[in-house]
Structure 1
Amino acid sequence: MKIKRKIEIAVISDVHLGTRGCHAKDLLNYLNSIEPKKLVLNGDIIDAWQFSKRYFPKSHLKVIKKIMNMSADGVEIIYITGNHDELLRKFTGTTIGSIKIVDKLVLELHGKKAWFFHGDVFDMSMQNAKWLAKFGDYGYSALTLVNRMANWYLQRCGKERYSLSKKVKNNVKTSQKHINRYEKVISNLAIENCYDYVICGHIHEPKIKYFETKNGKTMYLNSGDWTENFTALEYQFKRWKIYYYSKDKLSPFFVEEDFEDMNMNDLIAAITIVEQHKKKTK
């Protein structure tokens, strides 16, 4: 039996379950390899913008089941709502089983304050033209679908994955300016409110970076995504790091080969596990 890595906090965001760009099996491998005290789901875990009953593979269901099982096993799970799963914002402050649903989160970590939120409220394109953001999202999804097919071919040839969308972002000056402005606005606000760490997602750009002004300094952290970067944030031994699935998976936990046997009834069963577990421990 392989030993799971014990970490204090794991943060994932922008999984986009229910879309063809989501790499659910890779995420499941990652979740099977760790044993966190807290798992922070920092928005856009399920993609309600593009949700379709015609496309929700068993591997995507299995990610949900895994999260529910982790909750039943005592992992504290906090679901921070994002723009793609904004339907959950009406349930802010409630719990589903043992999973807390919030819009933001503040934690004290060894004497330092950490501020968690998805980040869409600081995205001017979201606030000023939501319809345009959704239109752009469909274009991004089409690009990731093409990218996924290209990467399937590259992997069969023994070559590394390639991110088309990341290449496009890096080559478009306006996109980089948008990202820089996003990071600066969030970090300045964190400094004004005396937060040592500010943790977000939304822009699919994994990063750890210090920001400093005359009023103080903060560490900006972005958990990236599971559509092109396959990244998470991990906190252990008073330090943060970005986990890159493609680089850091030394001995990954492979997904069980029982996707074909799973259906919606299995998902319902996974949710009831939480309640059954609570009854047994009373």
Structure 2
Amino acid sequence: MNTKKIYFASDLHLGAPYITDPKLHEKRFVDWLTSIQPTAKELFLLGDIFDFWWEYKRVVPRGFVRLLGKLAEFSDSGIPVHFFIGNHDIWLKDYLEKEIGMSIHREPTVFERNGLKLFLAHGDGLNDTSLGFRVVRGAFHSKFLQKMFETFVHPDLAIKIGQTWSNSSRKSHDQKHTATYLGEDKEHLVQYAKKHLKENDINFYVFGHRHITLDLMLTKNSRVIILGDWITHFSFGSLEDKTFKLEFFGH
């Protein structure tokens, strides 16, 4: 069968403490990867695939072997896999790049595929001007603070701290923004896309982060897509020729 589709997914949050059956959670996503493998020509993972990820020089988080093995199969078979860091897996370094063969993206990136321009990003921080968010984001992206943390904090303690932060961050987010569409005038990612489109020619803005599914026309030639998640929606995007679809695994 000819490979002809590009796939997009985000927000799996592997390792999150609120996932009641972690093995089933991981298996469902791996099953989806297996189902698309015969038709995939490229795969984009748009952030928060892990609920927390921290790498030391010789230490990485335990677990996730089924997912990592399947992604290695993709890479080994010639299917490019792209990984965009999210706000939960910020501290990803080069382990997945070297061991799995994935391309790591730390900033929003524009790709040209099938004669279309795709603006891809996890979505955290885009058009969010709140000072508190900027300060926290700056701290987590600081190379100096990362080095200090790595030098003075034991890996076991680092993972525990990270999981505690991740869980509290998720609860805080849920209190402020339930996973429902807030409308064009309040959704940061929609507003960002509208501003960006004024000076750029983009056909599809594709984001994760918000845990909602959204397919919104901005102009006759431009749409914004929010991919949902793999916690409640089990949703993904597919691009075949010039047709982009939001789909749901198992539906």
Q: Say whether the 8 Å CA contact 1:190–1:196 is kept in structure 2.
A: no
> Over aligned residue pairs, what C-alpha RMSD do you find?
3.6
Going from structure 1 to structure 2, the CA distance change for 1:182 and 1:110 (only over 3 Å counts) comes to closer
Unaligned runs of 5+ in 1: 144-165, 248-282
Asked if the contact 1:19–1:56 (Cα under 8 Å) also holds between the matched residues in 2, the reply is no
Measure, in 2, the Cα distance between the counterparts of 1:190 and 1:182: 12
Q: Secondary structure at the match of 1:69?
A: helix
The equivalent position to 2:216 in structure 1, one of 209, 214, 222, is 209
The CA deviation at 1:28 is 1.2
Q: Which residue of 2 aligns with 1:188?
A: 195
**Correspondence 1:19 to 2:26:** no
What does the per-residue CA deviation read over 1:175-226, in whole Å, with 9 as the maximum and x for residues that have no partner? 72586243222333134222111111111112211113xxx85210112111
Contact 2:10 2:228 in 1 (8 A): yes
Instruction: Output the CA distance in 1 between the equivalents of 2:75 and 2:234.
Output: 22
Higher-helix-fraction structure: 1
Distance 1:74 1:139 in 2: 40
**Structure 1 residues 219-238: Cα deviation after superposition (integer angstroms, max 9, x where no partner):** 10112111111111111131
Aligned 8 A contact 2:213 2:227 in 1 = yes
Question: Percent of aligned pairs with the same residue?
Answer: 23
Task: Tell whether the 8 Å contact from 2:117 to 2:203 is kept in structure 1 after alignment.
Answer: yes
CA distance 1:225–1:133, shift in 2 (3 Å): same
Alignment match, 1:66: 70
Tell me whether 1:137 sits opposite 2:170 in the alignment: yes
Secondary structure in 1 matching 2:52: coil
CA contact (8 A) 1:82 1:120 kept: yes
In 2, the alpha carbon distance for the partners of 1:136 and 1:33 equals 33
Measured against aligned partners, the alpha-carbon deviations of 1:34-78 in whole angstroms (never above 9, x if no partner) come to: 121111111111121799xxx966xx3211211111111111011
Question: In structure 1, how many angstroms separate the alpha carbons of the residues matched to 2:117 and 2:228?
Answer: 21
**SS of residue in 2 equivalent to 1:96:** helix
Bigger radius of gyration: 1
Task: Give 1:87 shift.
Answer: 0.7
Whole-angstrom CA distance in 1 between matches of 2:179 and 2:81: 32
| Equivalent of residue 182 in structure 2, options 176, 181, 205 | 176
TM-score by length of 1: 0.62
Structure 2 unaligned regions, length at least 5: 56-60, 138-164
TM-score by length of 2: 0.69
Q: Retained in 1: the 8 A contact 2:50–2:88? A: yes
> Is the 1:6–1:34 contact (alpha carbons within 8 Å) kept by the matching residues of 2?
no
Structure 1 contact 191–217 (Cα < 8 Å) conserved: no
